[in-house]
């Protein structure tokens, strides 16, 4: 643990207690970010930034506030906290705002989650530039004379955070994150210029694909948009590409939060223990995935994390309920939000599944869209490929899917064997039957 920030947090709590708080919780986060991007074979962005900030949650006389500062000088911090306590005393009372019962801190796992890449400190500026140039070159090589423009980039972060509470909680974590990819525009028929992209994210640089693979992937995904058009509205099977599942799943997850339930904005509020999807719909929340982007041993309340079954074969088992909303609802708390979401993979590849479906659409991206957490109604624009007999035959674009989550997830017919590893949501491609796809 970083002794400097630990001592700073302890001093902040001491100052707050001296100013008259009942309890307080302090978070200190430090981050170093580097970003490099190239466009037209020239550097477009070269940026490095380091930030450090402190937030303090103040509980005093049934009143609560959270306030932040980046001025961590001892005298300035003391003034900041004293003023924060004084202003909090002026707020309306909220009896539900307290620190958690310390029993929820117990049982925290002591394990290496693999979220800190020891090689990050040796990632040189030259290596960053070489990575980005290689991504860009691969885009041009694969895109050929169709390429209009390419922007390739990489970002990497080192971050550490400490959470300390006046009732005994203390937790520290450090991690690294790498993001690399490219955006690309190509010339289509007439004045159409489709724009595509591909990005990968990981806590370890060694786990990323090669720059050449990243660039080639961005080029392929963009070239696949050529000739895209609407087809006639129809009821078809669809395959939702692995990396795009989280976008559609997000509307469902929103309704699983204690916040939405307490404020009567959740279509799932009375669905615990009931079927909300087909037998193929299972979701685990696993905070212990080695190298996972959401891996952690404690949550924002300081609760010890644990693996949870959120949905089991279509049956809703758990909600995401933090300490505050558990008190308002009168429920037992779980945790405030997702860590790493896992949809267990199936046994067949997308190609194998596609052969059996006859005619359908393989969805590779979304455009716009909205999801109503109160009713479950959702609508989203899609792009992808029409396939027949297992073979893609035409790019499709500017089409739309509108449905209700409680009906849509009942149509989940199969899960492929291809979980997407470059995300905090490890989701395979999903197959849905009898979906109305709106076109011309």
Task: Please name the helix (run of DSSP H) or strand (run of DSSP E) that holds residue 219, with its range, or none.
Answer: helix 211-223
- What's the chain's length in residues? 440
Give the orientation angle of helix 3-18 with respect to helix 74-88, to 10 degrees: 40
**CA-CA distance, 377 to 105, in Å (whole number)?**
37
**CA-CA distance, 27 to 231, in Å (whole number)?**
52
Q: What is the 3-state secondary structure (H, E, C) of 305-339?
A: CCCEEEEECCEECCCECCHHHHHHHCCCCCCCCCC
**CA-CA distance, 148 to 139, in Å (whole number)?**
11
**CA-CA distance, 54 to 73, in Å (whole number)?**
11
- Mean of the pLDDT values across residues 412-438? 96
Q: Which of 311, 310, 312 is nearest to 321 (CA)?
A: 310
Unique residue bearing structure tokens 């530039």: 129
Which pLDDT value is given to residue 45? Answer: 97
The alpha carbon torsion through 214, 218, 221, 222 (nearest 10 deg) reads -170
**Beta-strand pair 42-60/23-39:** antiparallel
Over residues 121-169, the pLDDT tens digits come to: 999 999 999 999 999 999 999 999 999 999 999 999 999 999 999 999 9
Which pLDDT value is given to residue 352? Answer: 95
Residues 6+ apart with CB under 8 A from 341: 246, 249, 253, 283, 284, 285, 294, 310, 424, 425, 426, 427
Long-range contacts of 321-330 (CB under 8 A, 24+ apart): 321/257, 321/258, 321/261, 322/258, 323/98, 323/99, 323/100, 323/104, 324/96, 324/97, 325/257, 325/258, 325/259, 325/261, 325/262, 326/258, 327/96, 327/98, 328/96, 328/258, 328/262, 329/258, 329/261, 329/262
Record the tokens describing residue 47, joined without a space.
């940026």
Task: Please name the helix (run of DSSP H) or strand (run of DSSP E) that holds residue 60, with its range, or none.
Answer: strand 42-60
- Give the whole-number percent of the chain exceeding pLDDT 70: 100
Which pLDDT value is given to residue 361? Answer: 96
Over residues 302-322, the pLDDT tens digits come to: 999 999 999 999 999 999 999
Which pLDDT value is given to residue 2? Answer: 79
**CA-CA distance, 209 to 205, in Å (whole number)?**
9
pLDDT classification of 221: cutoffs 50, 70, 90:
very high
Which pLDDT value is given to residue 3? Answer: 86
Rg (the chain; Cα; Å): 24
The CATH homologous superfamily to which domain 120-159+170-223 belongs is PmbA/TldD superfamily (3.30.2290.10)
pLDDT above 80 for 252: yes
Same-fold call for 3-102 versus 120-159+170-223: yes
Which residues is 403 bridged to in the sheet? 378
pLDDT classification of 390: cutoffs 50, 70, 90:
confident
Higher pLDDT, 368 or 347: 347
Determine phi and psi for 309, rounding to 5 degrees: -95, 110
Which pLDDT value is given to residue 37? Answer: 98
Residues 6+ apart with CB under 8 A from 127: none
Over residues 9-50, the pLDDT tens digits come to: 999 999 999 999 999 999 999 999 999 999 999 999 999 999
Question: CB–CB of 273/136 below 8 Å?
Answer: no
- Domains of the chain, by residue range, sit at 3-102, 120-159+170-223, 229-440
**CA-CA distance, 367 to 185, in Å (whole number)?**
16
* 372 SS3 class: coil
- Mean of the pLDDT values across residues 171-193? 95
- Mean of the pLDDT values across residues 83-94? 96
Question: CB–CB of 338/299 below 8 Å?
Answer: no
Determine phi and psi for 73, rounding to 5 degrees: -65, 145
- Mean of the pLDDT values across residues 325-354? 97
pLDDT above 80 for 1: no
The CATH homologous superfamily to which domain 3-102 belongs is PmbA/TldD superfamily (3.30.2290.10)
DSSP, res 303: P
Mean of all residue pLDDT scores within the chain:
96
pLDDT above 90 for 440: no
């Amino acid at each position: 643990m970083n002794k400097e920030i630990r001592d700073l947090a302890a001093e902040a709590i001491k100052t707050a207690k001296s100013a008259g708080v009942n309890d307080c919780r302090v978070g200190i986060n430090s981050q170093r970010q580097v970003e490099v991007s190239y466009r037209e074979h020239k550097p477009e962005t070269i940026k490095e930034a380091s930030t450090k900030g402190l937030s303090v949650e103040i509980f005093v006389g049934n009143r609560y506030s959270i306030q932040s500062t980046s001025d961590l000088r001892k005298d300035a911090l003391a003034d900041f906290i004293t003023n924060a306590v004084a202003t909090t005393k002026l707020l309306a009372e909220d009896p539900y705002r307290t620190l958690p019962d310390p029993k929820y801190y117990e049982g925290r796992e002591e394990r290496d989650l693999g979220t800190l890449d020891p090689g990050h400190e040796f990632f040189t500026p030259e290596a960053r530039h070489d990575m980005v140039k290689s991504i860009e070159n691969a885009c041009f090589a694969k895109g050929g004379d169709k390429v209009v423009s390419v922007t390739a980039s990489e970002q990497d972060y080192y971050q550490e955070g400490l959470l300390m509470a006046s009732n005994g909680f203390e937790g520290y974590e450090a991690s690294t994150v790498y993001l690399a990819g490219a955006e690309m525009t190509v010339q289509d028929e007439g004045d159409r210029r489709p724009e595509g992209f591909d990005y990968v994210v990981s806590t370890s640089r060694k786990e990323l694909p090669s720059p050449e693979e990243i660039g080639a992937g961005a080029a392929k995904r963009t070239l696949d948009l050529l000739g895209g058009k609407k087809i006639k509205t129809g009821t078809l099977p669809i395959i939702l590409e692995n990396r795009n599942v989280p976008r559609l799943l997000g509307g469902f997850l929103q309704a699983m939060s204690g916040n939405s339930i307490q404020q009567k904005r959740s279509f799932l509020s009375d669905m615990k223990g009931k079927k909300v999807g087909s037998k193929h719909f299972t979701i685990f929340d696993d905070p212990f995935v080695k190298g996972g982007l959401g891996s952690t041993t404690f949550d924002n309340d300081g609760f010890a994390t644990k693996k949870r079954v959120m949905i089991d074969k279509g049956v809703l088992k758990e909600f995401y309920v933090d300490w505050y909303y558990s008190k308002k609802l009168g429920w037992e708390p779980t945790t405030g939000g997702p860590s790493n979401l896992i949809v267990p993979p199936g046994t067949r590849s997308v190609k194998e599944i596609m052969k059996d479906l006859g005619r359908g659409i393989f969805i590779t991206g979304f455009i716009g869209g909205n999801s109503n957490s109160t009713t479950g109604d959702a609508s989203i624009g899609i792009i992808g490929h029409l396939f027949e007999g297992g073979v893609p035959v035409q790019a499709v674009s500017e089409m739309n899917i509108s449905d209700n989550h409680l009906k849509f997830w009942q149509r989940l017919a199969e899960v492929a064997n291809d979980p997407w590893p470059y995300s905090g949501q490890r989701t395979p491609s999903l197959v849905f039957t009898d979906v109305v796809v709106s076109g011309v």
